[in-house]
Each structure stands twice: as C-alpha cells, then as structure tokens.
C-alpha cells in the first residue's frame, strides 16, 4: 500500500472558498479522508451533515478515538465541532494547543489510516484562515502538500503590508489557487497563479451538490483535475 498523502488547505483571508474547494477536491477524487480543522467555523462538518460526535480533538480531550462520518464508500470526514466549541469559549487561548494537535495528527495520520483499514490514499485537512506561517513551514517540512487559496484580493491593488503577508504564505505553499473569480478576472489571475477557479452559482450548500455545480463548468473541471494531478504525483 502506498503511503497516505496529506494535503493542507490554507488561506490568509476568510471567505475565499477554502472549505468548499476542499469538498470539491474530495468528491472529484474519492479515496479521501477529510479532516475539519477549521476551529473558527467547522463548516466542512456542516457541509457534509456530519453528526455532532467526537472529532479530531477527541484523543487529546479524553483519549477516545475520533468518529469518522462515512459520506460514501470512498469518502470519509473527521468532524471538528469540539474544536469550534472550545474556540468559541476560549478564543486565542486554545489556538497554540490546537496547532500542536494538528501537527501531531499530520505526523501520525498514515498509521491512523492504516489501522482503520479504510479505502483512503489521501487526507485533506481544512485548516483555519490565517494559520500561522510557522505552522505551515512545519507542515511543509513534514511532507504535507500545502495548497494556498486566495480570491480576487490577491490580484487587486493591495497595501504593501498585505502583499508581504501574501508573499510569506505563498513561500510555504506547494500550490497557489485563486478562487471565486469572475470570467473577466481569469486572464490576469493566470499570470499570478498556476490554478484559477471561476465563481459559479451554487444551488444547494451540501458538499456533493457544491462539487457537482463547480465541476459542471468545463474550465473549473480542468483546474480541479490539475490540482489532483499534482497531488497524485507526490
């Protein structure tokens, strides 16, 4: 069996479509374990209607195994409700511990997946917006494939401070994706990033429905296939 690959989805800003892109990639590829490590929102857990059962923090809170939500025979999700609830109560005080737990999971994820014997060859982690670059650097060093997602703000006029922030995040990323673009923005975005994704109408905010709406667009399908080809080549 091939080693399990880990993909970390990261962004500097919220609202760039990081979570929905995680869902699209998972549905398009299959054989994926999604992990909802966005402790500020836990939107991925909600997109796939995961029940409120112990998630990725469970081993650190009480030593229990995390619950895996079976979306399909080749697609699973580890929820993140506990982290979200703790973050809502304690704010930044718990972030350092969450970051340590994230890194420990990445280090041990291949063994965890092998132990469960589930049909998964890739783990996609949906991280929180503005995850510290020091954490991204450690993820990269550990062999994770960091995907940095931005929106039109990356191609617009921004302050020097913001531009430096983007530069730092992109420096610790394996791939840059500009998401949620209008058609007239695609050309200029392609000069900055290797992968661009067009905004489409979403009919129903459910994981598989979102994926189908995005993948229905021919150009978006090519972009998603491009990302998956890079992951496959790892």
SS3 71: strand
Q: In which domain, by residue range, is 51 found?
A: 5-232
Q: Which residue has the tokens 């995850």?
A: 131
Among residues 76, 124, 62, 127, the alpha carbon closest in space to that of 98 is found at 127
Q: What is the pLDDT of residues 147-203, one digit of tens each?
A: 999 999 999 878 889 999 999 999 999 999 999 999 999 999 999 999 999 999 999
According to DSSP, the residues that pair with 36 across neighbouring strands are: 126
Q: What is the pLDDT of residues 55-111, one digit of tens each?
A: 999 999 999 999 999 999 999 999 999 999 999 999 999 999 999 999 999 999 999
CATH of the domain at 15: 3.40.50.300
Q: Look at strands 69-72 and 75-78 and give their pairing.
A: antiparallel
pLDDT, residue 3, reads 82
Contact between 119 and 73 under an 8 Å Cβ cutoff? The reply is: yes
- Number of domains within the chain: 1
Q: What is the pLDDT of residues 52-71, one digit of tens each?
A: 999 999 999 999 999 999 99
Q: What is the pLDDT of residues 196-232, one digit of tens each?
A: 999 999 999 999 999 999 999 999 999 999 999 999 9
- Joined together, the tokens standing for residue 213 give 């709406």
Total-model pTM: 0.97
Q: Where are the beta strands (DSSP E) in the chain?
A: 5-10, 32-37, 69-72, 75-78, 122-127, 145-150, 175-181, 195-198
Taking residues 11-34, report their average pLDDT.
97
The DSSP output letter for 194 is S
According to DSSP, the residues that pair with 229 across neighbouring strands are: none
For residue 106, what is the enclosing H or E element? helix 95-116
Among residues 74, 79, 34, the alpha carbon closest in space to that of 56 is found at 79
Percent of the chain residues past pLDDT 90, beyond the cut: 94
> How confident is the prediction for the chain on average, in pLDDT?
96
pLDDT, residue 33, reads 98
Other beta carbons within 10 Å of 203: 10
Sign for the CA dihedral angle at 178, 181, 185, 186 comes to: positive
Q: Which residue has the tokens 């940095």?
A: 148
Q: What does the alpha-carbon distance between residue 145 and residue 147 come to, in Å, rounded to a whole number?
A: 6
């Amino acid at each position: 069996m091939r080693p399990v690959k880990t993909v970390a989805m990261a962004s500097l800003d919220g609202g760039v479509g990081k979570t929905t892109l995680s869902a699209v990639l998972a549905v398009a590829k299959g054989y994926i374990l999604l992990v909802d490590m966005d402790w500020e929102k836990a939107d991925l857990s909600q997109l796939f209607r995961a029940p409120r059962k112990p998630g990725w923090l469970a081993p650190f809170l009480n030593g229990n195994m995390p619950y895996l939500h079976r979306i399909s025979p080749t697609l699973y999700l580890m929820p993140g409700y506990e982290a979200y609830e703790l973050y809502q109560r304690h704010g930044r005080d718990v972030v350092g511990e969450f970051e340590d737990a994230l890194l420990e999971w990445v280090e041990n994820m291949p063994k965890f997946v092998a132990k469960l014997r589930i049909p998964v060859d890739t783990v996609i982690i949906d991280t929180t917006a503005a995850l510290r670059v020091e954490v991204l650097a450690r993820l990269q060093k550990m062999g994770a494939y960091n995907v940095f997602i931005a929106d039109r703000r990356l191609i617009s006029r921004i302050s020097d401070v913001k531009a430096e922030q983007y530069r730092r995040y992109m420096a610790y990323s394996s791939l840059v994706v500009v998401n949620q673009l209008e058609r007239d923005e695609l050309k200029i975005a392609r000069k900055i990033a290797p992968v661009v994704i067009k905004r489409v109408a979403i009919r129903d905010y459910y994981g598989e429905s979102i994926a189908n709406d995005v993948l229905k667009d021919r150009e978006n399908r090519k972009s998603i296939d491009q990302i998956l080809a890079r992951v496959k080549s790892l």
